[in-house]
Amino acid sequence: MSKRQIIIFLTCTIVALGVLAGASTLWMRSGSLSSSDGIRTSGEALVGGPFSLTDHTGARVTQDDFLGRPMMLYFGYTFCPDVCPTSLQVLAVALEEMGEEADVIQPVFVTIDPARDTVEQMAEYVGYFGDDFIGLTGTDEEIADIARTYRVYYGKVDGESEDDYLMDHSSIFYLMGADGKFVKHFSYTTDPEQLALDIAAHL
Ligand code: NI
């Protein structure tokens, strides 16, 4: 081989290796894309679902009553000393900051302490956060059912007496689409601006 042939041979080899590397990168990318799609699909299927509860006016409601508007759902209890009132206040301020864009969003507070959170108790409590807030309560079983579909953790912490106790619970906002399907969850935050941005980015 002449010096020129060697250069051509080496150039071809390098180009061929480059094409192979490029192809394998593309293949790996398409592989990881499809696997993350799979995770997203199964996530949608696993969060949320049918429920049957009583709202803060005493009316019986199901998931179908909430179709047509995106919903921001939060689980907690009215006797919560800190996390719940903070979270609901942050949500109220975030929705206010979003202005008209937030008009379509239905804020919903679901109790995980139905023993104390009666219809009357829920009505008074959601009123603190805005006229648009809906409070949902139900029987122990109904609350256990919706908590399970949303993968919400909650449990009673033994207190001073039968009526004076705390509840442990996860503090997560769930954004559900107008079609009732899970869109995104947002972790506990004390920053309304950030929550407003997060919600707006997923409407
Ligand atoms: Ni709480």
Calculate how far, in angstroms, residue 6's C-alpha sits from the geometric centre of ligand 1. 74
The pLDDT value recorded for residue 154 is: 97
Strand (E) or helix (H) holding 127:
helix 119-127
pLDDT, the chain, mean:
85
Q: Tens of pLDDT along 65-88? A: 999 999 999 999 999 999 999 999
pLDDT band at 34 (very low <50, low <70, confident <90, very high): very low
Q: Tens of pLDDT along 123-163? A: 999 999 999 999 999 999 999 999 999 999 999 998 888 88
pTM value is: 0.78
Calculate how far, in angstroms, residue 108's C-alpha sits from the geometric centre of ligand 1. 14
Calculate how far, in angstroms, residue 145's C-alpha sits from the geometric centre of ligand 1. 19
Calculate how far, in angstroms, residue 135's C-alpha sits from the geometric centre of ligand 1. 14
Calculate how far, in angstroms, residue 77's C-alpha sits from the geometric centre of ligand 1. 6
Domains of the chain by range and CATH? 52-201 (3.40.30.10)
Calculate how far, in angstroms, residue 83's C-alpha sits from the geometric centre of ligand 1. 4
Beta bridge partners of 185: 174
Q: What is the mean pLDDT of residues 186-203?
A: 94
Calculate how far, in angstroms, residue 180's C-alpha sits from the geometric centre of ligand 1. 25
Beta bridge partners of 72: 107, 175
- pLDDT above 70 (res 14): no
Calculate how far, in angstroms, residue 19's C-alpha sits from the geometric centre of ligand 1. 56
Cα–Cα dist 125/117, whole Å: 9
